[in-house]
Amino acid sequence: MDDLRKFARYFLPYKISLITGILCILASVVFNLAIPLFVGQAVDENWTEVSWSKLTVSALKVLGASVASGTFLFLQRHILIGMSRHVEYDLRRDFYAHLVDQPLSFFQEHRTGDLMARASNDLAAVRQLAGPMIMYTLQTIFVVLLVLPLMLMINWWLTLLLFVTMPLVSLTVKFFGQQVHVRFEKIQDFFAQITARAQENFTGVRVVRAYAQEGAEIEAFNELNRKFAEKNFSLVRIDALMRPLMQFLIGFGFVLIIWAGVPLAVRGEITVGQFTVFNMYLMRLIWPLIALGYVVNLYQRGTASLKRMNAIWAIDPAIGDAPGVQQQKPIAGEIEFRNLTFSYRLNDEPVLRDINLRIPAGESVAFVGRTGSGKSTLVNLIPRLIEAPENAVFIDSVPVQDYSLAQLRSSIGYVPQETFLFSDSLADNIAFGVEKAERAEVEWVAEMAGLADDIKSFPDGFDTLVGERGITLSGGQKQRTAIARAVLREPKILILDDALSSVDTYTEEKILRRLRGLMRDRTSLIVSHRISTVRDADRICVLDEGRIVEQGTHHELLALGGEYADLYERQLLEEELAAT
């Protein structure tokens, strides 16, 4: 119920539409129910003596009522279904706005597929709640409420007979409709599986062929296909049961009217016209009764979906601005870690232990260490991609949590391990993090990142689309795009989180040389497992199991003869091996 109350707020901006729409339903129902009355009147008026003029008037009345009812029916759909689309728009926008503020941990917990399901299937179900359900419910209520007294006025016995039997139609639809829906969903899911399987085989065709596994794949596909057919049969069987049953129940209604009504008409208790009216009302009741069963299902599905969406809505972004956060002085770039011990979950083994490190503004510091040594986690704490404990990470002696996210992050250029490019032009991808960028600036940073030559060779230069609808960039090109993107923001702090791993050493050196000039008075942090990337840093920190075990320049660390020297030896050895 709480879910629904929250949902009701979405109708507030559209309350005028809602009210107008409801009035249209009422008007349409009234005119539509007038038609049988006019027909009945025509029959009775002309029963003893036929009058051409009276007939013409009746025919025109029927047409007139129909035009009026149709017009309101048009308006009703247009207004109410249209409103549901507006509500859907608002819901979807808010859903996205809510999710885009969520931290990394949220997306690790909720799989993209699950979130997508909520944004598409659940949202669609909720939309049905907002539009069709309201419309059909009110339509049914109005029809029943208006028809009931009209029918009672003609004959209470006939009316009673119908209202005892006809709700069975609604029950049939409700029961079987749910079954149909469940089976249909299963079929859809399964169909997605089949499509995925086929797609996989098309994409991986070289592997399948190369291993001569066509036979096995075809067999597996046939198996899927057989199951798909079975599931379809189960749907058809239910459907084949539901339709005749409905037909039967409706037919039964007409039989009842004839069985009970004809004697009444013969005895003169009702007129032939009234008998006709009754018949026509029954016809007009059929759809609302079917709709009623359908609506109950819509309601159940819609509220279940609403609950699922609200569950996401209830999660406040774990990383956000502290209440009353204030704009701090512009960031100069000094970073300090004070007694930092960090673990992802409360009782987990710490990933970082007793880190104490001060990096003056303008220094370049590199972090090396094995996979899992904590170097990525350490740099992720600075832009608050991961939340550090309080009073452990400082920028310009201010705890990171005391900055607004906007101020903090706009001072940082961050190049992650896995580059994420959007399906957009290259220029837009590079200018992703800035309000507006001149083409000249974009070209300049592309040059800095060693990307300019690649871009020249693309069909549309900087306007070339990348991603799904465009070309696929190589790993190295992606990483260089990410570097250009970060540099364009002119950050005070530049963080390269293993950002050159797919770039060859030769290009890497060129990029680093250019960046060094650019970053002279800025702080830069470089995470890498390659000596070549880190050797020229002002300071190199070696991490092992969450601790800084060595610190110093390349030469100092070599002289120390510890972990770093070891790593260097190993990489040197490989090189020598390669050269002989």
Partner 1 sequence: MTRLTNDVDSLNELFTQGVTDVLGDVVMIVAIIGVMLWMDVRLTLVTLLTVPMLFAATTWFRKGARRGYDMVRTRIARINAFLQEHFAGAQTVQIFNAEAKSLQKFEAINDDYRKANIDTIFFYAVFFPLVDFIGAVGIALVIWYGGYRVMNGALTLGALVAFIQYSGFLFQPIRDISDKYNVLQAAVVASHRIFKTLDLPVAIKNLETPLKSGRARGYIEFQNVWFAYKDDDWVLKDVSFAVSPGQSVALVGHTGSGKTTITNLLMRFYDIHSGHILLDGVDLRDWDLQSLRENFAVVLQDIFLFSGTVESNIRLGRNDISDERVTWAAKEVHANKFIERLNHGYRTEVKERGAGLSVGQKQLISFARALAFDPALLILDEATSSIDTETEQLIQQAIERVMRDRTSIVVAHRLSTVQRADRIIVLHHGEIREQGNHQQLLAERGLYWMLYKLQYADGARSQAVTTLPTDEEEPAPATGGLQFSE
- Asked if 261 touches partner 1 (CB under 8 A), the answer is no
Rounded Cα–Cα distance for residues 577 and 580 (Å): 6
Residue closer to partner 1, measured from CB, 300 or 441: 441
- Asked if 237 touches partner 1 (CB under 8 A), the answer is no
Q: Which DSSP symbol is given to 465?
A: B
Q: Which residue in 476, 539, 548, 563 binds partner 1 (CB under 8 A)?
A: 476
Rounded Cα–Cα distance for residues 508 and 25 (Å): 69
Minimum Å distance from CB 264 to partner 1?
15
Q: Which residue in 532, 547, 562, 565 binds partner 1 (CB under 8 A)?
A: 532
Q: Which residue in 88, 336, 443, 563 binds partner 1 (CB under 8 A)?
A: 88
Our CA dihedral for 544, 549, 552, 555, rounded to 10 degrees, sits at: -70
Q: Which residue in 25, 289, 359, 385 binds partner 1 (CB under 8 A)?
A: 385
Q: Which residue in 314, 346, 440, 577 binds partner 1 (CB under 8 A)?
A: 577
- Asked if 14 touches partner 1 (CB under 8 A), the answer is no
Residue closer to partner 1, measured from CB, 51 or 326: 51
Burial of 143 by CB count in 10 Å (0-12 exposed, 13-18 middle, 19+ buried)? Answer: buried
Residues of this chain, 134-153, that bind partner 1 according to CB under 8 A? none
Residue closer to partner 1, measured from CB, 339 or 404: 404
- Asked if 315 touches partner 1 (CB under 8 A), the answer is no
Near partner 1 by CB under 8 A, which window of 15-23, 163-171, 393-401, 404-412? 404-412
Minimum Å distance from CB 578 to partner 1?
5
DSSP assignments along 471-508, one per residue: BPPPHHHHHHHHHHHHHHT--SEEEEESTTTTS-HHHH
Near partner 1 by CB under 8 A, which window of 1-9, 99-107, 159-167, 544-552? 99-107
Q: Which residue in 14, 294, 432, 462 binds partner 1 (CB under 8 A)?
A: 432
Near partner 1 by CB under 8 A, which window of 91-99, 135-143, 331-339, 437-445? 91-99
Q: Which residue in 16, 160, 207, 266 binds partner 1 (CB under 8 A)?
A: 207
- Asked if 474 touches partner 1 (CB under 8 A), the answer is yes
Burial of 473 by CB count in 10 Å (0-12 exposed, 13-18 middle, 19+ buried)? Answer: buried
- Asked if 82 touches partner 1 (CB under 8 A), the answer is yes
Q: Which DSSP symbol is given to 524?
A: E
Minimum Å distance from CB 412 to partner 1?
7
- Asked if 316 touches partner 1 (CB under 8 A), the answer is no
Residues of this chain, 492-511, that bind partner 1 according to CB under 8 A? 501-507
Strands 523-527 and 493-497 come out as parallel
- Asked if 475 touches partner 1 (CB under 8 A), the answer is yes
Q: Which residue in 155, 364, 376, 477 binds partner 1 (CB under 8 A)?
A: 477
Q: Which residue in 4, 13, 19, 70 binds partner 1 (CB under 8 A)?
A: 70
- Asked if 85 touches partner 1 (CB under 8 A), the answer is yes
Residues of this chain, 168-197, that bind partner 1 according to CB under 8 A? 191, 194-197
- Asked if 165 touches partner 1 (CB under 8 A), the answer is no
Site size toward partner 1, by CB under 8 A: 137
Minimum Å distance from CB 62 to partner 1?
5
Q: Which residue in 268, 438, 453, 555 binds partner 1 (CB under 8 A)?
A: 453
- Asked if 344 touches partner 1 (CB under 8 A), the answer is no
Rounded Cα–Cα distance for residues 21 and 24 (Å): 5
Element (H, E) at 70: helix 52-99
Strand order of the sheet with strand 364-369? 412-415, 493-497, 523-527, 364-369, 539-544, 547-552
Query: Among residues 320, 331, 343, which one has the least CA distance to residue 394?
Result: 331
Query: Among residues 287, 361, 202, which one has the least CA distance to residue 29?
Result: 287
Rounded Cα–Cα distance for residues 70 and 29 (Å): 10
Name 342's bridge partners. 352
Helices (H), 110-213: 112-117, 123-128, 134-154, 156-165, 167-203, 205-210
Cβ partners under 8 Å of residue 348, min gap 6:
none
Near partner 1 by CB under 8 A, which window of 4-12, 325-333, 342-350, 419-427? 419-427
- Asked if 564 touches partner 1 (CB under 8 A), the answer is no
Q: Which DSSP symbol is given to 120?
A: I
Rounded Cα–Cα distance for residues 84 and 113 (Å): 25
